[in-house]
Amino acid sequence: MANKVRFLGHASFEVVTGGGKKILIDPWFTGNPACPVQKEELKAPDLVLVTHDHFDHVGEDVPFLVEGSDAVIFAQPEVVRMLKQNGVAEKNFIFGMGMNIGGTVEAAGIKVTMVQAFHSAGVGSPCGFIITTEDDRKIYYAGDTGVFGDMKLLGEIYPLDLAILPIGSVFVMDPLQAACALELLKPVKAVPMHYKTFPILVQDAGEFVKLAGRKAPGVEVQVLEPGQETEF
């Protein structure tokens, strides 16, 4: 069974591994104008990954999504405290308290590595994640970030099958920076995110696709519409 990633709008994704594990990344569903599904369809994942506390990355749905389940949430301690105040049980967090940048933790047969991102946050600091599936496939989810030189190092440490990068500008990388990020990361495949949702963001992935073809011609870029999925 192949590993699959489904785009859920804006910066939200669902990963279903070859072993059947379900992972939600930055789940923002209620109020997300680009989300193609109802939150009820996504209840009780195996893992939930949260990069930072901005509303468009950790919405109000997290308590509902994990309620009554053994779902494990990966987030920084400061975000964990915020979610506990919103009613999420301690048992639903990795180690009950979260993790931090540089750490790798395994749960449900999936390895999750928290890596740096350059952005802002109300509590804690922004991050990205590298997910290693049961069959050793690796996804880099950049979170909200600008380009940074150590993306090259991340790509060397963790040979990437898929990179999910923001391209919308204003709050995150613009298409040029995102294309340069691909040049550093050298993944097999890339998927753009965090654009078009709001009028002030870049509205089309075309410029990114064009620039990626120049900067990182060896990388397959796949543009997903909300609800579409790709294998890796």
Question: Per the domain annotation, does 226 fall within a domain?
Answer: no
**132 located within any domain:** yes
Is the backbone of residue 129 left (phi > 0), alpha (psi -120 to 50) or beta? beta
Number of structural domains in the chain = 1
Range of the domain at 201: 4-217
Q: Which amino acid is at 42?
A: L
Span 45-71, pLDDT tens digits: 999 999 999 999 998 999 999 999 999
In a domain, 228, yes or no: no
pLDDT above 90: residue 6 = yes
Which region holds residue 70: left if phi is over 0, alpha if psi is between -120 and 50, else beta?
alpha
Does some domain include residue 15?
yes
Residue 223 lies in a domain: no
d(CA 212, CA 135): 28
User: CATH no. for residue 156?
Assistant: 3.60.15.10
The pair of structure tokens assigned to 103 is 């750490």
Whole-model pTM over 0.95 = yes
- pLDDT of amino acid 59: 85
